[in-house]
Amino acid sequence: MSCCSGRYCQFEFPEGPPLTDYPVSQLSANYQFLPYGTLLAEEEVIRIWTESGKTETVILERKIPLTILEEGPVAKYGEPFLPWQLIALDSGMELETIENWATHPLYNPDAEAVVLKFRHPIVTKPSWKSRWLQLLYKIRNL
């Protein structure tokens, strides 16, 4: 898969859970705006990716369908608050682009826009004790 036509940033994704349709700006992203929807399901284990080809496995916590109005996107089912600045930052888009999506040249009224909310699994860092025990185990088995 190539992320550009210049062929200077080619990379292959390893096998694993499905990928999101578009890249995120950082692997610690909590939200993503997808203007054309997605087939991914809630509580599914997926991978988010950056344009450099790095991936992170996350859980798709919520899939919030949007209604695109002239005033900006609004959650269809009454989501009380969506942090649009954070959504724009995580999606790698300008806030004005998302707010004015109804007038964007790529806007498609037949596609349902969604916001994905991710839950990052807890990754524990090994303690000094466990590292020391691993080192002792390796030395013992030499």
What is the pLDDT averaged over residues 15-37? 91
pTM greater than 0.85 (yes/no): no
| Residue 2 domain-assigned (yes or no) | no
Q: Which helix (H) or strand (E) holds 136?
A: helix 128-140
Asked if the model's pLDDT at residue 70 lies above 80, the reply is: yes
| Residue 7 domain-assigned (yes or no) | no
| Residue 20 domain-assigned (yes or no) | no
| Residue 11 domain-assigned (yes or no) | no
How many CB atoms within 10 Å of residue 134? 11
Q: What is the count of structural domains for the chain? A: 1
Residue at token pair 């996107």: 73
Q: What is the pLDDT of residue 2?
A: 44
pLDDT in tens, 75-117: 888 777 889 999 999 999 999 999 998 888 988 888 899 999 9
Structural domain containing residue 61 = 31-140
pLDDT in tens, 53-67: 889 999 999 999 998
| Residue 115 domain-assigned (yes or no) | yes
8 A C-beta contact, residue 49 and residue 24:
yes
| Residue 4 domain-assigned (yes or no) | no
Q: What is the pLDDT of residue 81?
A: 84
| Residue 21 domain-assigned (yes or no) | no
8 A C-beta contact, residue 16 and residue 41:
no
What is the pLDDT averaged over residues 41-45? 92
Q: What is the pLDDT of residue 4?
A: 55
Q: What is the pLDDT of residue 73?
A: 87
| Residue 10 domain-assigned (yes or no) | no
Asked if the model's pLDDT at residue 38 lies above 80, the reply is: yes
Would you give the end-to-end CA distance of the chain in angstroms?
A: 42
Beta bridge partners of 106: none
